[in-house]
Amino acid sequence: MKRQETRNPNIVLVGFMGTGKTSIGRRLSTQLRMRYVDTDDVIERDSGRRISDIFAEDGEPTFRELESEAVRKVSNLYNYVISTGGGVVLKEENMVALKRNGIIFCLTATAEEIYRRVQHQSHRPLLQTPDPLMKISSMLEERHPYYAKADYMVETTGRSFGEVMAYIKRVFTKSIRDPK
Ligand code: S3P
C-alpha cells in the first residue's frame, strides 16, 4: 500500500523585491526536502509571457489578477516552500488563501540594502524610474501595514542566508510540533 505523505504546512515567503525570497526559498526547500514554487514563475508559465511584458502591455491590474489566480493554485499545495511576488500582500484574499495551509514569513531589509541588491537588475518593472531608491522607500512605507500581516517578520539586512534560514527553520519546525 502507498504510504500517505504527511500534510505539513507550506513555508510562504513574502516581502519586498530584493529581500531574498527566491534565493532563500530555493535553499530552504533543498535543506528541508520540500518542493519549491514561485508565484511569479507560475504566472509566466501559465500565461506564456514575461512579467515585464504583462505590466507593459496590459498594466498592473491585469498582472494582479493573474497573481491572485496563481496564489489560488499554490494555496492548495502542502509541503512546499512558496515564494511570492513583492505585491502579493496587497490583496487580502491572497493572504487569506496563503495562510490556510501555510506559515507566512515576511523577509525585510532597509531601502538602502534593497537598492544595493537590485540596482543592476532590469527586469523589475516597478523600479524602472529615475530615482529607484526614493521609489523603494515610498513603496516600503506604503506597503508596511500589508507586510505586517505576515505571521513572522525576518530582517535580512546584515544577516547571511544561513542565519535567515536557521531562524525560519527553527520557527517552522516548532510550529509543526506545537500547532496553535
Ligand atoms: C512586484 C514584485 C515582483 C513581481 C512584479 C511586481 C511588486 O516580484 O511580482 O514585478 O509589486 O513588488 P519580486 O518581489 O519577486 O521581484
What is the model's pLDDT at position 20?
96
Stated length of the chain: 180
Residue 11 buriedness (CB in 10 A; 0-12 / 13-18 / 19+): buried
Cell numbers 507593459 correspond to what residue? 56
Q: How far is CA 173 from CA 28, 140, 151, 152, 160, in A?
A: 12, 29, 14, 14, 20
Report which of residues 130 and 5 the model is more confident about: 130
**Cβ of 66 below 6 Å from ligand 1:** no
Nearest CA residue ID for atom 10, ligand 1: 124
Ligand 1 binding pocket includes 20 (Cβ within 6 Å): no
Kindly state if the Cβ of 132 falls inside 6 Å of ligand 1: no
98 has pLDDT over 70: yes
CB atoms < 10 A from the CB of 118, how many? 18
Nearest atom (ligand 1) to Cα of 16: 14
pLDDT of residue 151: 97
The confidence score (pLDDT) of residue 34 equals 96
pLDDT mean across residues, the chain: 94
Could you give all domains of the chain from N- to C-terminal order, each with its CATH number?
10-175 (3.40.50.300)
Atom of ligand 1 nearest to the CA of 83: 15
**8 A C-beta contact, residue 124 and residue 17:** yes
180 pLDDT tier (thresholds 50, 70, 90): low
Concatenate the DSSP letters of all residues of 77-128 into one string: -SSEEEE--TTGGGSHHHHHHHHHSEEEEEEE--HHHHHHHHTT----GGG-
Is any atom of ligand 1 closer than 6 Å to the C-beta of 40? yes
What distance in angstroms lies between residue 163's CA and the mean position of ligand 1's atoms? 24
Q: Does 124 sit in the ligand 1 pocket, CB within 6 Å?
A: yes
Percent of the chain with pLDDT over 90: 86
What are the start-end ranges of the H helices in the chain?
Answer: 21-32, 39-47, 51-58, 60-74, 92-100, 111-118, 132-147, 161-177
Q: Residue 106: pLDDT band by 50, 70, 90 thresholds?
A: very high
Cβ of 44 closer than 6 Å to ligand 1, yes or no, is no
- Report the Cα 31 to chain-centroid distance in Å: 18
pLDDT number for residue 122: 78
Alpha-carbon span 76 to 65, nearest angstrom? 18
pLDDT digits (tens, 9 = 90+) for 163-178: 999 999 999 999 888 8
* Longest Cα–Cα distance in the chain: 61
Report the predicted TM-score, pTM, of the whole model to 2 decimal places: 0.95
pLDDT at position 31 is 96
User: How many CB atoms within 10 Å of residue 49?
Assistant: 14
Are β-strands 152-155 and 35-38 bridged in parallel, bridged antiparallel, or unpaired?
Answer: unpaired
Residue 32 in grid coordinates: 528541508
Nearest CA to ligand 1 atom 8: 85
Distance 169 CA to ligand 1 centre (A): 24
Is the pLDDT at 2 greater than 70? The verdict is no
